[in-house]
Amino acid sequence: MNNLQKTSQWDDLLKLAIEARENSYSPYSHYKVGAALLTTSGKTFTGCNIENAAYTPSNCAERTAIFKAVSEGERDFAAIAVATSNSVAPCGVCRQVMREFAPNLTIILGDIKGNYRVVSLTDLLPDSFGPENLETD
């Protein structure tokens, strides 16, 4: 895991994710997800899941937060809190996007009551593929 140590930081990050969850646009799955991403510079970016009737254009909360941060020039992430009704871990696509920017990311998996568990990205995506695996000739 990285240098994020204070449990109060995790509590605060999860609260922001729970708040972001309220902006979810999920008329098809009815499964709201919120995320709050903490950069190593101390900035926070939130996101929610945004669904689409065609399904594949939908975007997860975690990726929404990461893409917002990247679009603002941030590239180094310390932790992300994900809030769902039942503390579910991120999907595989989100795990791979997280891996692109933060192979040692701390992930707070929480529910809407504020309960959570903390895992590392390497716990969720062992033996992952990253930019360093690309070989050029």
Q: Which residues are catalytic?
A: 62
Nearest to 45 by CA among 121, 125, 101: 101
Helices (H), 3-124: 7-21, 61-71, 92-101, 121-124
Question: How many whole angstroms separate alpha carbon 86 and alpha carbon 61?
Answer: 15
Tokens of 131: 């930019």
Q: How many CB atoms lie within 10 A of CB 122?
A: 14
Tokens of 20: 């972001």
Contact 70, 83 (CB under 8 A): no
Q: How many CA atoms lie within 13 A of 58 on its CB side?
A: 23
